[in-house]
Structure 1
């Protein structure tokens, strides 16, 4: 059973998931030329698009089933988590099939690993809810996983549309590289920039 105090969360979660899925469809239509190409880079974009949709659908399905009276959220979490794991397996097979696919960044590998963790935790929590339906702590954990799915889906959609990526490591590396470049120019006798 979903406790009454978290009912509104799942109501809002269903609405947010629906809106994000709609926006993802717009992003996919904008990125359609990139997705239609052949090759490993296009395949990586297709996997990112599918991963965002999978994360959003996971959140949507759980949120909607949580709103139905009765004991459905545990079984739903297990089934949708299993389907999510099947997606990850299919994504890995898809990338392996093109054989030239390399991870564009460690972020892509971490993302798929993160999805596996979310789906496994979701399935375990779903089984715990089925075994002890009166405990609200496990339902709260499912709610947190819904939020994590939103964050994962948004991150994948952002990469899909080619949104800028500004990270601490990248910026520090660029700053150090810029300073090294300036020092090398000064050694060569060029005046420092004013």
Structure 2
């Protein structure tokens, strides 16, 4: 298995960039909750061991690495709300979260490594996109871990306020149990009304009430 490395960062350093941030987001697919992005500037002298795409790590390993990243790197976490997702679209909302995360770093980066194939509209910094970057760049892998752990914790908190949807386990993704709860318990303020399963329930309810 190929692990992410520091080659993209080293190349950027070789071009004269001093502060390279990795950026990633999580939460495009769920029916509920915000989309969350993280920006991370790693210290080359204090790289946490075992960084990888967050999806390839166990919960315990992600939690441990989250703590190490927060202790050793410049980290910023940001989100775009459900209202912004519904008002724009999930792609634009994801990019808004990325821009906010980059802007929130303690010291501005001079180069940004972005997971995916699109530079967020409005980003004026030097940047490059890396497809599957969370599996290729250590900085993006670190950002993916931070964003996922933070969002998962946030969804656990929301699950305490709105029990029955299983957000503590499914993080808002459309599992069968979550979709059934939508039908039986209804739509909450944290559901994305522009997403088809939620929209369909609201539309059906409107027809019935009319």
TM-score (norm 1): 0.27
Higher strand share: 2
| Higher Cα Rg, which structure | 1
